[in-house]
Amino acid sequence: LFPAGHRCISQAAAKIDVDFDYDGPLMKTEVPGPRSRVSFQSLETSFKNAEAVHFFCNYEESRGNYLVDVDGNRMLDLYSQISSVPIGYSHPSLIKLLQQPQNLSTFINRPALGILPPENFAEKLKESLLSVAPKGLSQVITMSCGSCSNENAFKTIFIWYRSKERGHNNVTKEELESCMINQAPGCPDYAMLSFMGGFHGRTLGCLATTHSKAIHKLDIPSLDWPIAPFPRLKYPLEDFVKENQQEEARCLEEVEDLIVKYRKKKKIVAGIIVEPIQSEGGDNHASDDFFRKLRDIARKHGCAFLVDEVQTGGGCTGKFWAHEHWGLDDPADVVTFSKKMMTGGFFHKEEFRPNA
């Protein structure tokens, strides 16, 4: 859709005439309407618990910024499938791309890209994901969703940390045997530090770093990993400069204290994960200075610094990656993405390649 390496930077709101978009909302029934209610009953009785369903959609008729339901109601959509629609519904450029034979072949044959990629895979990565890679991150791993992107980023960080500890020594027989029964030293007792209010996914490892809603975590066993407070800033910012600086300093101090505390418990914090904006957890922000200092703490203690851009990546903050606003003097070690990127995965520094 854009030239390789092109970054979308929004300077100001602009009126753009797009022939595939609607000119406004149109309501024909209450929501959910009668057809949605029928579909709801069918889904609930024959397939699954449908309590979370709001209404049923007609995606063929949805266009641009407007979502159309099965009753013909046309609604201005600010939700965008949980921030997963990058340029509007049914965008003609995307439709054209998906109709190309080589793209149809990818969907039909579902290649196992790790072992059986198509011939042009490296070229496709360079002209797509790597063309917008965050500064300092030359490597990319593709995934299917945000949760599996973070989950596998954790694994990459743990392997990197253990490789640093092991040095040039070979893996021992004891490590190979103990890992098969979930014991050390083959399964080292590492942890990811996360923040209260954060959301990083619902797979088992990610859920240990997710702290936005109790319903996500209830009844599911978890891991003893450290959880730091995320700043709760007061607004307007210009009226609470001192208070907000103190709040951020308090949270950063707690991060360091937790790293030290867990090390004394023989549990090493191998990485820190943070969202540029806590999105699902309540639209919580911190200053650029907070994130720069957090990055310094990670470097000081030898922890990987993982920035979760699943929600914030793709240009919605005015820069392609939200963490570009921070002005880091040392890039993040790992950056995860999904949703509006239309795929999942993570970028990382070359040193995080296994056996690098």
Q: Can you name the residues that pair with 304 across neighbouring β-strands?
A: 271
Burial class of residue 223 in the structure, from the number of CB atoms within 10 Å of its CB (0-12 exposed, 13-18 middle, 19+ buried) = middle
Residues 6+ apart with CB under 8 A from 309: 275, 276, 321, 322, 323, 335, 336, 337
User: Under a CB-based contact definition with an 8 Å cutoff, are residues 159 and 354 in contact?
Assistant: yes
State the Cα–Cα distance between residues 176 and 170, nearest whole angstrom.
11
Residue 4 in this model has a pLDDT that exceeds 70:
no
User: Under a CB-based contact definition with an 8 Å cutoff, are residues 137 and 332 in contact?
Assistant: yes
Residue 10 in this model has a pLDDT that exceeds 90:
no
Residues 6+ apart with CB under 8 A from 93: 1, 87
User: Residue 208 CB: number of other CB atoms within 10 A?
Assistant: 21
Q: What's the pLDDT score for residue 50?
A: 80
Q: What is the mean pLDDT of residues 296-324?
A: 97
What share of the chain has pLDDT > 70, as a percent?
94
User: Residue 18 CB: number of other CB atoms within 10 A?
Assistant: 13
HSE toward the beta carbon, residue 272, CA cutoff 13 A = 28
Q: What's the pLDDT score for residue 107?
A: 85
Q: Which of 215-219, 235-239, 270-274, 279-283 comes out lowest in average pLDDT?
A: 279-283
Q: What's the pLDDT score for residue 13?
A: 44
Residue 12 in this model has a pLDDT that exceeds 70:
no
Q: What is the mean pLDDT of residues 300-310?
A: 98
Q: What's the pLDDT score for residue 18?
A: 57
Q: What's the pLDDT score for residue 221?
A: 96
State the Cα–Cα distance between residues 208 and 192, nearest whole angstrom.
9
Q: What is the mean pLDDT of residues 195-204?
A: 97
State the Cα–Cα distance between residues 285 and 279, nearest whole angstrom.
9
pLDDT of 85-128, one tens digit each? 999 999 999 999 889 888 888 889 989 999 999 999 999 999 99
Domains and CATH numbers, the chain: 34-90 (no CATH), 133-352 (3.40.640.10)
Q: What's the pLDDT score for residue 130?
A: 98
213: confidence class by pLDDT, cuts 50, 70, 90? very high
Residue 3 in this model has a pLDDT that exceeds 60:
no
Q: What's the pLDDT score for residue 290?
A: 99
For residue 10 the two structure tokens come to 């929004």
State the Cα–Cα distance between residues 229 and 198, nearest whole angstrom.
10
DSSP 54-78: ---B-TTT-BBTEEEBTT--EEE-S
User: Taking Cα atoms as reference points, which of 166, 158, 195, 164 lies closest to residue 269?
Assistant: 158
